[in-house]
Amino acid sequence: MTPSTARTATAPTADGDAMRRALELAALGPARGVNPRVGCVLLGPDGTTLAEGWHRGAGTAHAEVDALSKLAPGEAIGATAVVTLEPCNHTGRTGPCSEALIDAGVARVVYGVSDPGDRSAGGAERLRAAGVEVVPLHDLDQALANEVEAFLADWLFTVRHARPRVVVKWASTLDGRAAAADGSSQWITGAAARADVHRRRADADAIAVGTGTLLADDPALTARATDGDLLAHQPVPVVFGRRHVPADARVTRHPESVIQLDGRDLAADLALLARRGVRSLFVEGGPTLASAFLAAGFADELLVYLAPALLGGPRLALGDLGVPTIAEALRFDFAAIERLGDDLLVVANPVAARATRDATDPTEGN
């Protein structure tokens, strides 16, 4: 089967169906870690599925190689490989997938997102140089390409920025208070808002508090259902600060081991978390830690839970941000506003992030 024959025999509809299946396969891989979740479907020249594969974690076969391993020698000649991520072009614990596809005789590759890695990128060029037809998914279906990008968003962000994506959350009254004058803060918001917080905790790789909040509130930092049971996925607890974590603190009984960082160099701390496989960090409290992330420019999304109450007094949700004048205010876009029981959730993203998105060619994978 020649490459040109494979091009005419594999229809775009088959490509799209295969990419959706590849996404399902990718979701079977580990959500946490330094490696992306990738799925691959191998199609015959008539568009039928020959084999499927996915990446099961660091040190295991990549999705393309996993799929190829299920075929006899020669069975992949003239096939189309539909992969959620551009085939890698480097040797790590495993060999380059671009070479494996070439050696197997694959005639065409459709990939969902370009690999932004300095070492791993270049697979598409290597495949083209070997005479393989390479099709970025956005050339066929931009909406589906966006879906694949969204699936890989946390991993892509971490690779591009060498740090996790950071979500900063707080709950406050309408006048911006996170606690009453006596320090009490449970509960500013209602049950629906708290349930939403726990759901978002479970979506994150890690959850962070400062030692001040840890010592004052003794939080468990777990993600729990409304009945108190632990949810299936638990974020890794991260404590920022130099004060000692007490041996009997509730967080020491967390299903995941505690990571403590001194917080003096947030950029270095975040880079370390990224190297440990943390792609998303949920910064939960308190005001000192939230303010530090905001002042350093490390807040990629804000989640502000607003209760219809007033407290007054000094206990603000945020402290000093290093903003001397209104002209230097940290500006955000409202991404969403949601009613949760009696409370409101405001989701906001930095204006600078919007400007970067607007300046980027939406057809580019990187």
**Cα–Cα distances in Å, from 310 out to 33, 117, 184, 348?**
42, 48, 14, 22
Tell me: cis bond preceding 155? Omega within 30 of 0 counts: no
Asked about 99 being catalytic, the answer comes back as: no
Task: Write down the catalytic residue from 52, 64, 86, 149.
Answer: 64
Give CA–CA dist 356/342, Å, rounded.
35
The residue with tokens 């996925």 is: 233
256 CB-near residues (< 8 Å, 6+ apart): 234, 235, 236, 237
The tokens for 288 are: 């000192």
Measured CA to CA in angstroms, residue 207 lies from 143, 238, 282 at distances of 31, 6, 5
What distances in angstroms separate CA 150 from CA 144, 218, 330, 337, 345, one per listed residue?
Answer: 10, 35, 26, 20, 22
Give the catalytic positions in this structure: 64
